[in-house]
Structure formats: C-alpha cells, structure tokens
C-alpha cells in the first residue's frame, strides 16, 4: 500500500484533536449539569479537573513529543508503510485497518494486564487508579513514564508486525471518546449499556476495573473491546451498585496533587 498523502494525514490529525478536546468539553459540561456523583463543592471539582489535566499535559510533552515524535520519529513515519511481517501480503488499506485495530486492541489488553501484574509497572499505573472521584479527566490521568513505555512498545510492535502507524491514529479517533465515556461522571441509559456490553468495554464494565478491591481491579482490562476479557477469563459482570473507587493508601492530598502523582511510583505505600 502507498503512503498516505499530506492532506489525508492533516484531516486525520484534525479529527484526532477535535474528538479529544470535543469529548473532554462535552463530558465536562454534562458532568457539570447532571453528575453521577457530585463533588463537595465547585472549587473541589475545579481542582480535581486541573490536576488531572496537568498530568495530561505532562504526557503530551514527555510521552507524545519527546518519546514519540522526537526519539521514535512517529511524525515522519506515520504516513509511511510499515516494513514488518504484514507488508509481504500487500494488503489494501481497509484490510490493514481492520487487522491493525484488532491487533492493537489485543496489544493494549495485554499491556494493561502487565501493568497490573508486574510490580514496578503497577507502581506507575496506580497513578491512574488512585483517583478517588471518577470523571472524564480520569481518562487522561496517567504517569508520563507509563505512557512513554506504552508508546515505545506499541510503536516497536506495530513496525515489526507491519502495521502502519496511521492505523493507530485512526483507531484513537474512535477509542478516545470511548475512554472518556468510560470514566465520565455521568449515567448512561441502561438500554445503551446492555446493547453495547457484549462487544464494547462500556462505562459500567470499566467502572468495575476502578473498584478499590484488588480482585475487581484485576478484571475488565479491555480498552475498546470486551471480547478479550471474555476470551481470557478476566471479565466481571458489573455489579448492581457501583463500588468505591481508588487505591487504598493513596487517598490523601499528598497523592492527588500533580507533584504527588508524579512522585507516587517512587514512594513506599
């Protein structure tokens, strides 16, 4: 398959930024008008949002720009064909897209499981789980080191597999709104949840994953599809009542500030 044109890449980049920012604004407005669980006060909510967005800014600066764009050269490679295994089959873009999206989602499932199973990865990943009040910005609350490792492993795997990097750009246009919805502090219609749950990792399915109970945290790892959890035995049906979220021992403000979240992986709990 030929490389993507500059016009196509510009369109995809615009869609990526638009869906991410648009999704954040949409759910922030919805949460402000009809929150599932209300904050104690408007200043408390504002502080929570700004702290999580501060972590997002660090991920963009460190993981996306330094590691992705500068060290790995994703900006220059994104429109080019990948040299790996799939390149020998000369697949057209629809086949590459379908295969790539499924393969990346499977990769994300196992990477997520590793972040829970490997102790030093969990020290990084627990920054995401330590949020005591789920809202849309929780979906952007990750440690920059975890995101950097994830990007490096994903890019290397895609190049070896022969999946062009533009496939991940297209996938994130669809998956970012879903990730924001999974964490949003709103209530979705039950019929929508029931209809989507057999295929997608819906908000109620993902909320189980943010339970304070470690046995429930170690379930429902799927980023986009719920199929992988069902296939590999890590699926848990959402409970009737939502569990308390967070990580025991990380509730205090020392672990909720931007500085505290950055230092969390390196502190003994």
Q: Which backbone phi and psi does 225 adopt, to 5 degrees?
A: -100, 140
Q: What is the pLDDT of residue 242?
A: 58
DSSP summary character for residue 86: G
Note the pLDDT of residue 240. 60
pLDDT along the chain (269 residues), means of 10: 83 96 98 96 98 98 97 93 90 94 98 98 98 97 98 97 96 97 96 95 96 93 97 91 83 96 93
Residues contacting 156, CB < 8 A, separation 6+: none
CB 250 within 8 A of CB 139: no
Q: Which residues contact 108 (CB under 8 A, 6 or more apart)?
A: 154, 223, 224
Give, in degrees to the nearest 5, the angle at Cα 159 between 153 and 165. Answer: 90
* pLDDT score, position 236: 95
**What pLDDT, on a 0 to 100 scale, did the predictor assign at position 1?**
64
pTM, 2 dp:
0.95
| Helix locations, the chain, DSSP H | 6-33, 42-58, 74-77, 93-117, 119-129, 144-161, 166-183, 190-196, 203-209, 214-217, 227-232, 258-263
């Amino acid at each position: 398959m030929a490389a993507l044109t500059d016009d196509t890449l510009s369109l995809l980049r615009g869609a990526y930024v638009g869906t991410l920012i648009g999704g954040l604004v949409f759910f922030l407005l919805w949460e402000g008008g009809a929150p599932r669980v209300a904050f104690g006060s408007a200043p408390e909510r504002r502080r929570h949002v700004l702290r999580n967005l501060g972590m997002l800014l660090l991920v963009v600066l460190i993981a996306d720009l330094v590691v992705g764009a500068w060290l790995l050269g994703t900006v220059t490679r994104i429109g080019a064909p990948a040299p790996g295994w799939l390149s020998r089959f000369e697949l057209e873009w629809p086949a590459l897209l379908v295969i790539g999206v499924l393969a990346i989602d499977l990769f994300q499932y196992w990477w997520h499981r590793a972040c829970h199973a490997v102790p030093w990865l969990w020290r990084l990943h627990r920054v995401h789980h330590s949020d005591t009040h789920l809202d849309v910005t929780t979906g952007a609350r990750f440690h920059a080191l975890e995101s950097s490792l994830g990007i490096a492993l994903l890019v290397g795997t895609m190049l070896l597999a022969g999946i062009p990097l533009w496939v991940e750009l297209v996938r994130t246009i669809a998956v970012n709104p879903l990730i924001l919805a999974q964490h949003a502090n709103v209530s979705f219609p039950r019929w929508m949840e029931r209809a989507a749950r057999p295929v997608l990792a819906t908000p109620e399915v993902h909320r189980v994953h943010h339970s304070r109970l470690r046995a429930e945290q170690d379930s429902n790892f799927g980023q986009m599809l719920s199929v992988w959890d069902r296939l590999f035995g890590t699926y848990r049906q959402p409970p009737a009542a939502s569990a308390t979220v967070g990580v025991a021992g990380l509730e205090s403000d020392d672990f909720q500030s931007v500085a505290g979240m950055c230092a969390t992986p390196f502190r003994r709990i």
